Structure 1
Amino acid sequence: MKAAAAILPVVFMLGLGCFARKMKILSEEQNGGIKKLIFTLLLPILVFNATFTMNIDPKYIKITGFMFILQCVTLLAGYGAFRLIKTDYSHVSPYLMTTIEGGNAFYPLYIGLVGAGFSSYFVLLDVPGIFIVFLVFPMIIARKTSESAGFASMMRNVYTNPVICGLIAGILLNVTGVSAAFARTGVYEAYCALADAATAPIAPLILFTLGYSFSLGRDNLAPMLITLAVRLVLMGCGIAVAFMLFPWILEDAQLRIAVILFMMSPPAFATPIILEKLYKKGSDGQYCSTYISLHMLVTVIAFALIAVFTA
């Protein structure tokens, strides 16, 4: 029953999103408006609150560093793999080996398994991918397209990202002791109630938009399956290495679930847009987007299996 309690709300919200698209209850623009609300307002509040209230333990910071190194390594491994494995999309496939969609894919499923009280684990795992998508990718693409890297412009894109602003503000207030002092005041309980009210709708709204946007066709299925297989092998190795380097993860059930589900999640949803300058043909963008949809199926299956075996 515990597994069903975790799985059914996820399936319901995904199905509700699909139903809304099929019945044309919402337009693409309206669904986009929901996404904008999530990423420009609600998710930054979540990230700020998680970093503002979390107990920053050095051993957990090691996991953040590990995730950054892992995602750099999987990108390099992707370059190597797709020099050997030739498909029509080998020029974009390496970028689908790295980054992980934390906010859209991992977070709502993870919260469905363990509850919102462990949001800080989401932040610890997700931070490296944010910087890879908005800083490392643009630098690589600028180099490959012989454009000026525009460091100042890229940094402006990074630090005007609402999620990153929330992250930085939360960390600064935490490490300077402001959050600890604030926790001792009489208004802290009211603040927690406000934060809970602002972040509670995030998971169901994200699942709804995912269901609305989900699409998977048979076109180019073979190269997608190859790409998926390579990524799953790389991320599977990443899980094994994480458990070997940090064996204490195995003792923390919520963190163990977070690491497994996070690495089974798809690439960042912003990837198809970020890679546009590398596209050689019109179908490249559709390939990247559809691959993410295919990988999302794997993520939901992983979520269901975790729910069953941890029930």
Structure 2
Amino acid sequence: MLSILSPILPMILLIGLGMWCRRSQYFSHHTIAEIKRFLLNICTPATIINMTLLMEIEAQTFLIIALSYIMLCVFLLGGKLLNLIPPLHNTLNPYVCSGTAFMLVGMSLFTIIYGAEHLATFALLGIGHEFFIWTIYYPLFHLDTKGTKITIATFKNLLTSPFIIALVAGMMLNIFGVVEILEANPIGSGILSAITMLSSVATPLLLIALGYGLAFKVDNLKASLKFVFVRFLVVGVLGLLFKFLIIDPLIEPSLVVDLSFYAFLALPLMFTLTLFVEGVVSDEEVEIINGAIGISTIISIILLIILSILIPPAIL
């Protein structure tokens, strides 16, 4: 039991530190917002580059990326179909159901529990997720909520996204064997070390920011729980069906593949959904989304802890 607690305890302590920072007002909301921006625009791209540079690229690599992309499209469609049920109807349902906090939560928590050596397959699901966000999710969100049509500017934003640039750069450098060249050169080795250091900074900062953001308004609790219910209903039902009917027949059976898939399904709502909805919906609805993100994050942490007990790092 103590061996299971070992990788989880630092996570709990850092989240607790973030909660203390909020209660004691050690950090202001503005400071946390700047930290999140640093994580999104600097640390996360560095993590993506570091991840893609070192992963082993095979034929199955692109299949896993494609399947995760298709699966998220299914989740988005599931959210739209759920809107046919009047008590559950909400314009944001498709976006609550499909986007996940992969970069800001998934990568860090998975690494803490299972270590970077088992990150490759889980990361492939995340690559599919990032392509989905910037090619399907983001344009459709603006189409549904603002009536904004998909234009050349939409694709320009996609191509200039730090996530997409990092993904493409990392994959291309990996394919052409640039890592070996960089490692053999003192300057190149220093660049790789700097990228690795930026990646390592992401985890503790993220957990502190997570703890800081775990605050809920009682008045909005019911509405937030409704979003959480809708998300885990769609992801749980359609996700498991997709795995058993599509992924299992196509992907070579592996405990790491199963683990990565279940961990991916356990992730909370996408944190940047808060940024998307600001100015689109009322302030109260923004608070409801924030509450749903907080609740789903707590549930996600619990699910990942349970997963680490069912599939402990030692058996991988």
TM-score bin (small chain): 0.7 to 0.9
Separation (CA, whole Å) in 2 of partners of 1:282 and 1:98: 23
1:91-240 to structure 2, matched below 5 A, reads: 91-144=91-144, 147-182=147-182, 185=184, 187=186, 193-237=193-237, 238-240=239-241
Query: Structure 1 residues 75, 51: CA separation in 2 closer, same or farther (over 3 Å shift)?
Result: same
Shift of 1:94: 2.5
Separation (CA, whole Å) in 2 of partners of 1:277 and 1:129: 25
Question: Percent of counterpart pairs with the same letter?
Answer: 21
Separation (CA, whole Å) in 2 of partners of 1:192 and 1:228: 39
CA RMSD in angstroms, aligned pairs only: 2.5
Per-residue CA distance 1:109-144 (angstroms, 9 max, x = gap): 101111123343343112233233334234324433
Shift of 1:203: 1.0
**What secondary structure does 1:291 align onto?**
helix
Query: Structure 1 residues 257, 216: CA separation in 2 closer, same or farther (over 3 Å shift)?
Result: farther
Compute the TM-score of the two structures, normalised by the length of structure 1.
Answer: 0.88
Separation (CA, whole Å) in 1 of partners of 2:202 and 2:12: 16
1:80-99 to structure 2, matched below 5 A, reads: 80-87=81-88, 90-99=90-99
Separation (CA, whole Å) in 1 of partners of 2:302 and 2:252: 22
Query: Which letter does structure 2 place at the counterpart of 1:20?
Result: C
Q: Which 5+ residue runs of structure 2 have no aligned equivalent?
A: none
Query: Which letter does structure 2 place at the counterpart of 1:302?
Result: L
For these two proteins, the number of residue pairs brought into alignment is 307
Separation (CA, whole Å) in 1 of partners of 2:189 and 2:141: 46
Query: Structure 1 residues 106, 72: CA separation in 2 closer, same or farther (over 3 Å shift)?
Result: same
**What secondary structure does 2:100 align onto?**
coil
Separation (CA, whole Å) in 2 of partners of 1:15 and 1:296: 14
Separation (CA, whole Å) in 1 of partners of 2:194 and 2:226: 46
**What secondary structure does 2:217 align onto?**
coil
Task: Tell me which of 255, 267, 270 is aligned to 2:269.
Answer: 267
Separation (CA, whole Å) in 2 of partners of 1:138 and 1:240: 25
Query: Which letter does structure 1 place at the counterpart of 2:23?
Result: K
**What secondary structure does 1:126 align onto?**
helix
Query: Structure 1 residues 14, 93: CA separation in 2 closer, same or farther (over 3 Å shift)?
Result: same
**What secondary structure does 1:83 align onto?**
coil
Query: Which letter does structure 1 place at the counterpart of 2:302?
Result: I
Separation (CA, whole Å) in 1 of partners of 2:137 and 2:76: 10
Per-residue CA distance 1:252-285 (angstroms, 9 max, x = gap): 33x3322111111112111132234652x44221
Per-residue CA distance 1:53-83 (angstroms, 9 max, x = gap): 2111121321211111111111111111122
**What secondary structure does 1:308 align onto?**
helix
User: Which protein has greater RCO, CA pairs closer than 8 Å, 6+ apart?
Assistant: 1
Residues 1:34 and 2:40 aligned together: no
Separation (CA, whole Å) in 1 of partners of 2:129 and 2:293: 16
Query: Structure 1 residues 83, 301: CA separation in 2 closer, same or farther (over 3 Å shift)?
Result: same
Query: Which letter does structure 1 place at the counterpart of 2:25?
Result: K
Query: Structure 1 residues 27, 143: CA separation in 2 closer, same or farther (over 3 Å shift)?
Result: closer
Query: Which letter does structure 2 place at the counterpart of 1:262?
Result: F
Query: Which letter does structure 2 place at the counterpart of 1:268?
Result: M
Shift of 1:292: 1.1
Separation (CA, whole Å) in 2 of partners of 1:243 and 1:145: 34
Compute the TM-score of the two structures, normalised by the length of structure 2.
Answer: 0.87
Query: Structure 1 residues 200, 138: CA separation in 2 closer, same or farther (over 3 Å shift)?
Result: closer
